């Protein structure tokens, strides 16, 4: 009797082969993109919480960047760097604006913990996120005793910003 692993290896179904297969990464990235489109189209289905949208969007970007790297036969970062969207985007050679780079910085934190858990494991990561990373995406104004706070739509992880980054990544994947 042939061991199951030997059979898988004989047809090329191995961990190493799949993690560097650009088409496998692209297919999964496309699935998460479609989920993001649906979540954007029906936001009322998930009341008062955008984290499922952001998680799917960030995961689709991570996977498309890895598909590009696999296509180029470049080393794909592992561990914490394997989720760093700015790093993956830079290494994949996807041309984005400075605002989009800030969007990726925010989406990395959202992917790693904010969209999955109420709080990160370390309290200092929570403070860093709110005091340094998230604060870059907030516009605060005041005139006299009137204050206003709003999201910077140019950098926030909304569908329009996400889609522009996605389209730039698709163009790079197909190049």
Using CA atoms of 34, 43, 102, 118 in order, give the dihedral in degrees to the nearest 10.
-110
Is a pLDDT exceeding 60 seen at residue 97? yes
pLDDT averaged over every residue in the chain: 90
Residues 31 and 118: their CA atoms lie apart, in Å, by 26
| Residues 53-65: tens digit of each pLDDT | 999 999 999 999 9
Confidence label for 47 from pLDDT (cuts 50, 70 and 90): confident
For the segment 76-91, what is each residue's pLDDT rounded down to a tens digit?
Answer: 998 889 999 999 999 9
- What integer is the mean pLDDT of 86-103? 97
Q: What is the mean pLDDT of residues 100-104?
A: 97
DSSP-derived secondary structure for 126-152: HHHIIIIIGGGGEEEEEETTEEEEEE-
CA–CA separation, 172 vs 94, rounded Å? 6
| CA distances from residue 174 to 67, 68, 131, 171 in whole angstroms, order as listed | 10, 9, 38, 5
Q: Is 155's pLDDT higher than 60?
A: yes
pLDDT at 1 (0 to 100): 55
Contact in structure between 22 and 71 (CB atoms under 8 Å): yes
| Sign of CA pseudo-dihedral 63, 69, 73, 79 | negative
Sequence-ordered strand ranges (E) for 19-153? 138-143, 146-151
Domains of the chain: 19-174 (1.20.120)
Position 96 scores a pLDDT of: 97
């Amino acid at each position: 009797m042939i061991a199951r692993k030997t059979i898988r290896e004989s047809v090329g179904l191995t961990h190493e082969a799949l993690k560097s297969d650009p088409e496998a990464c692209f297919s999964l990235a496309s699935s998460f993109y479609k989920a993001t489109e649906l979540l954007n189209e029906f936001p009322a289905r998930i009341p008062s919480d955008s984290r499922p949208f952001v998680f799917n969007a960030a995961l689709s970007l991570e996977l498309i960047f890895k598909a590009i790297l696999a296509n180029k036969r470049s080393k794909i970062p592992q561990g914490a760097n394997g989720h760093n969207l700015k790093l993956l985007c830079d290494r994949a050679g996807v041309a984005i604006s400075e605002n989009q780079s800030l969007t990726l910085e925010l989406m990395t934190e959202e992917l790693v913990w904010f969209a999955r858990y109420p709080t990160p494991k370390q309290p200092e990561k929570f403070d860093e996120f709110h005091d340094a990373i998230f604060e870059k995406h907030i516009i605060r104004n005041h005139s006299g005793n009137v204050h206003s706070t709003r999201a910077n739509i140019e950098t926030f992880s909304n569908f329009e910003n996400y889609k522009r980054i996605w389209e730039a990544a698709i163009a790079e994947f197909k190049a």
